[in-house]
Amino acid sequence: MALVNENYLKLPGSYLFAEIARRVSSFQKENPNAKIIRLGIGDVTRPLPPAVIENLHKAVDEMAHAETFRGYGPEQGYAFLIEKIIQFDYAPRGIKLDVDEVFVSDGSKSDTGNIQEIFGVDNVVAVTDPVYPVYVDTNVMAGRAGELTEQGKWSKIVYIPCTAENNFVPALPDQKVDLIYLCFPNNPTGMTITKEELKKWVDYAKANKAIILYDAAYEAYIQEADVPHSIYEVEGAKEVAIEFRSFSKNAGFTGTRCAFTVVPKEVVAYTSTGEVVQLNKLWNRRQTTKFNGVPYIIQKGAAAVYTEEGQKQIKALIDYYMTNAKIIREGLLSLGLQVFGGVNAPYIWLKTPNGLDSWAFFDKLLNEANIVGTPGVGFGPSGQGYFRLTAFGNKENTEEAVERFKTRLKL
């Protein structure tokens, strides 16, 4: 008799986005002429940069000739891309990395979900709240989360609230934890953390032999000079942190799929008997066993990001989305709404007005202004009473959405 992994049965259904789709579909049937503007999507909408397209075409042509054809490549990624990543993303910030410390992958979602496989099931996991759902759900699947409580929390996971009351700066846990998920600039709140605050987490991890899993997928959107782009800007972080980066949001690779994870050779964990184990070796073993690598064609496209033209073009993409973010942020602030994010990230996180809960505001926004966003409670219990909007739409729809907030929404 084949038995299932019963941890999967503990997961609630894809409630958040399934429920959003259901409500929008129902509204559209009742209002077929309504023009719905979607500001809830976390996907980009602008095309790939021309430099990337050019490199993709060249790589496709190479695959048509025996002398330049590529089959299986290195599971860790081609050196031509890894060397550019180190040269452009880390060396200018004084961060030294070896080529075998960077692992190219098909997405940060995959890596942040898969990384937990190299850790024991008895580790205590801490997450900031609200949080990107993949961190929690993959630990539920692995059996680290316990049971789901009536408060919407998993009994064995340590939740660290990030709300307006603490300026969205997570406090150190009041109990010992082993694995810490941090995401800055944050999805969903769009908020950032200072180098000084980040150092507290590095110091905590060193003191408690914990590991920080640092999701920096949105670092390219940082506009302010005093916000760290990498956790490795903090002294000692290479001993305790694994960092995740992506080409999805800065270069439009959401459908093309390319990212990378940095696992320094200094970062270690322990066996149950106290033996020291390099996590770099474990991640390399995991990847070489379960992953055949990102296609050569895609990696050649990603390498174009680091050309002179590619750098200009991705900056233009980021500027486009951050202009949208500014339009949304300033428009909502002008209405007296409490608004966060949108300065160093493409996400705007707003406090729902008049004490409405997240879903009540979703319905109000859809029915009165025909705008779709994402209820904050879908990202965790501390997201209740908040709402996420994204800047990834086109500028025309963004401007129209803000106008609808001002003219249609009854606040």
pLDDT tens digits, one per residue of 286-341:
999 999 999 999 999 999 999 999 999 999 999 999 999 999 999 999 999 999 99
Contacts of 371 (CB under 8 A, 6+ apart): 36, 37, 38, 39, 365, 401, 404, 405
User: Per-residue pLDDT averaged across 219-245, rounded?
Assistant: 97
Query: pLDDT tens, 34-86?
Result: 999 999 978 999 999 999 999 999 999 999 999 999 999 999 999 999 999 99
What confidence score (pLDDT) does residue 223 get?
Answer: 97
User: Per-residue pLDDT averaged across 83-96, rounded?
Assistant: 98
Judged against a pLDDT cut of 90, whether residue 12 lies above it is answered with: no
Helix H segments across 31-107?
A: 50-62, 79-85
User: Per-residue pLDDT averaged across 143-153, rounded?
Assistant: 95
Report the C-alpha gap between 385 and 375 in whole angstroms.
8
pTM of the predicted model over 0.95: yes
What confidence score (pLDDT) does residue 135 get?
Answer: 97
What confidence score (pLDDT) does residue 145 get?
Answer: 98
What confidence score (pLDDT) does residue 16 get?
Answer: 82
Residues of the chain with CATH 3.90.1150.10: 9-47+311-407
Give me the CATH topology for the region 9-47+311-407.
Answer: Aspartate Aminotransferase, domain 1 (3.90.1150)
CA 347 vs CA 127, 147, 218: distances in Å: 19, 31, 10
What confidence score (pLDDT) does residue 108 get?
Answer: 97
User: Per-residue pLDDT averaged across 388-408, rounded?
Assistant: 97
User: Per-residue pLDDT averaged across 100-115, rounded?
Assistant: 98
Report the C-alpha gap between 407 and 402 in whole angstroms.
9
Burial of 27 (0-12, 13-18, 19+ CB in 10 A): middle
Phi, psi angles (nearest 5°) of residue 209: 55, 40
User: Per-residue pLDDT averaged across 98-115, rounded?
Assistant: 98
String of b and e for 131-151 (b: at least 16 CB within 10 Å)? bbbbbbbbbbbbebbeeeeee
**Which residues lie across from 13 on neighbouring strands?**
none
Judged against a pLDDT cut of 90, whether residue 386 lies above it is answered with: yes
Query: pLDDT tens, 120-130?
Result: 999 999 999 99
Residues of the chain with CATH 3.40.640.10: 53-308
Is domain 53-308 classified as CATH 3.40.640.10?
A: yes
